[in-house]
Amino acid sequence: MSVTSDVADLAAKFQQATAELTIPDVSRAKLREQLANAASPLGISVYVGTIANVGQNSGGGNQVQFDDQATNTGYVSTWPQWAFGLAEAALLAGKEVLLVANGTPFGSNLLNVLILA
């Protein structure tokens, strides 16, 4: 099975696990906790943080720096186009993002990107 199909399979499983999720306390911490609880059995990680910068590298890749507030760690990588557009919008609006990833929050691991209000 290819890496792309593995990621697609995990994304589908996470979407199924959260298709009708009730979150009794909608605070930022509880939202992350509820999604992390749904993701944990699948071996998926959930992160909340900010986008520090977006741009393109010389090879034409979409580079993003995501800063994880919980660990005070920045992650710089090339993000797929579908996620890059959301990162750019979040940066320009000054919004936090919630990332669902297959491991660390690098672009190749991303399953979901949500811009938080």
Does the pTM surpass 0.75? The reply is yes
* Dist. CA 113–CA 117, nearest whole Å: 13
Beta bridge partners of 29: none
pLDDT digits (tens, 9 = 90+) for 71-113: 999 999 999 999 999 999 999 999 999 999 999 999 999 999 9
* Dist. CA 73–CA 64, nearest whole Å: 14
Give me the domain span that covers residue 23: 3-115
Q: Name the residue with higher pLDDT: 40 or 25.
A: 40
Which distant-in-sequence residues (6+ apart) come within 8 Å of 2 by Cβ? Answer: none
Backbone angles phi, psi at 57, to 5 degrees: -90, 175
Q: Per-residue DSSP letters for 53-78? A: EEEE-TTS-EEEEEEETTTTEEEEEE
Question: Could you report how far apart the first and last alpha carbons of the chain are, in Å?
Answer: 37
Number of domains in the chain: 1
| CATH number of the structural domain spanning residue 61 | 2.40.50.140
* Dist. CA 48–CA 27, nearest whole Å: 12
pLDDT digits (tens, 9 = 90+) for 34-79: 888 888 888 899 999 999 999 998 999 999 999 999 999 999 999 9
